[in-house]
Amino acid sequence: MSQTSVCIISSQSPYRGQGAREALDAALVSASYDLPTSLVLMGDGVYQLLDHQAPDQLPRKNLLAMFKSLELYGIDTVYVDSESLAERGLESEQLLPVYTLLEGDGVATFLATQAKVLNF
């Protein structure tokens, strides 16, 4: 496949269902094809990066562990929509520091640079 840029938008909270996990899987598969792959967390998706998650008692696998290894899989850009954080009363310091904050119309501006967008 060509060097088409792929952006995965993930907007589900981490343990609502399998949605967040399956969006990450799609990002990993995209990167495994050597496609330049980025991930945008917005809406409830910003909860996925909350540090100190302890889902063991749900019981669910800790999604944060996957974020810690994204770089190894070739996904080096994770973006977080700052407006989604503000709407939920979250501070950027509460998140695992592996992301770049997109402020104002940053999400729209970024998406305009992407050849393909997959929305989850």
17 part of the interface to other proteins, by CB under 8 A: yes
Contacts by 108-111, CB closer than 8 A, 24 or more apart: 110/7, 110/38, 110/40, 110/79, 111/7, 111/9, 111/40
Total binding residues toward other proteins, as defined by CB under 8 A? 19
73 part of the interface to other proteins, by CB under 8 A: no
What gap in Å lies between CA 47 and CA 23, rounded to an integer?
A: 14
What gap in Å lies between CA 99 and CA 77, rounded to an integer?
A: 7
Q: Which CB, 24 or 95, lies closer to other proteins? A: 24
Which residue of 14, 16, 18, 44 would you call a contact of other proteins, by CB under 8 A?
Answer: 18
1 part of the interface to other proteins, by CB under 8 A: yes
Tokens of 90: 């979250």
Judge whether 5 and 113 are in contact, CB under 8 Å: yes
Query: Between residue 22 and residue 61, which ones bind other proteins under the rule CB under 8 A?
Result: 22, 25-26, 29-30, 33, 35
Shortest Cβ 43–other proteins spacing (Å)? 11
7 part of the interface to other proteins, by CB under 8 A: no
Judge whether 8 and 27 are in contact, CB under 8 Å: yes
Binding positions for other proteins, rule: CB under 8 A: 1-2, 4, 6, 11, 17-19, 22, 25-26, 29-30, 33, 35, 116, 118-120
